Structure 1
């Protein structure tokens, strides 16, 4: 079957064995067959510096250009992230800052779904809420319901990274279905 939509996944945790990367892979596996899914890494992107991102600069750093080009292929985004200090992890926020700049921002006006997993009891509600002003500024279309807040993730994934909680899988599926519908508009 020909893939006619592309959804890009971004993970807020860059560590090996990340529950959020596992969560992102589960979300990608729940997409319809005609949707291409790709997880894009950003761990080689430098800290944002406007001196390297102005109209007088002939090009952005190569890693940023590549990142933005990959994001530009997306019809929608899935972000799976932990919560750091009640907010968005710095590395992810930095990557989004690089991608958000300019009239050619590959994020503008696109649907996005945020999920989060944590070993704690609170899920990632504060991180997800912290994204709302970012989405508003970029005029993105966030899929807000249902919320996917995976608490005590260490009890919900097996050693191979498979999610073994059927209720959580069902909630993710509902959110992903809404994201796909929003991307087809």
Structure 2
């Protein structure tokens, strides 16, 4: 099973990237997780007629993916622009072939409620693009409660186990909805 992980934060030491790195390193047997590099992806603009190399790479990753993991960074109570932009590029494919009908897990780190607002907003976007987010287990991490080290790596054992369980559930969910 090929899974594309997409982080809303572009920072290397982002706690959301830390969640995705942990997921990638702890993927269950039979699951391969690739973390997309959004650093060179320009904002979607219909006037761009020749797709830049970074966009071509990203769209090929969307196409190859059986499922997604979204690192739902929260900016101003909503989805971070980098994540939404990646989704916007993919959603323009003829017939929604890069997104439609695929499963997704959502995880996120932020202050207070751990990106809950952006995660719920992202679920609204998923409805329109026909991506089917996993309902449980949810992964919310408080980025400022000692759950990450200085490099953005996850240190909290409870959240680590929650991510492991989410990955197992994502595999089962993807298999169920694609049957």
Q: Normalising by the residue count of structure 2, what TM-score does the alignment of the two structures yield?
A: 0.89
CA distance in 2, matches of 1:139, 1:152: 30
1:175 corresponds in structure 2 to 166
Whether contact under 8 Å (1:19, 1:153) holds in the other structure is no
Q: Normalising by the residue count of structure 1, what TM-score does the alignment of the two structures yield?
A: 0.86
Alignment match of 1:22 (pick from 18, 21, 43): 18
Q: Which runs of 5+ in 1 are unaligned?
A: none
Count of aligned pairs between the two proteins: 175
Q: Which runs of 4+ in 1 moved over 6 A?
A: none
Whether contact under 8 Å (1:108, 1:140) holds in the other structure is yes
CA distance in 2, matches of 1:104, 1:122: 32
> Using CA pairs below 8 Å that are at least 6 residues apart, which structure has the higher relative contact order?
2
1:143 corresponds in structure 2 to 134
2:2 corresponds in structure 1 to 6
2:95 corresponds in structure 1 to 103
1:158 corresponds in structure 2 to 149
2:53 corresponds in structure 1 to 62
What is the RMSD computed on CA atoms of the aligned residues?
1.8
Specify the structure having the higher radius of gyration (Cα). 1
Q: Which runs of 5+ in 2 are unaligned?
A: none
Alignment deviations for residues 36-84 of structure 1 (CA, whole Å, 9 cap, x no partner): 11111122112111233xxxx5x53332222101111111111113200
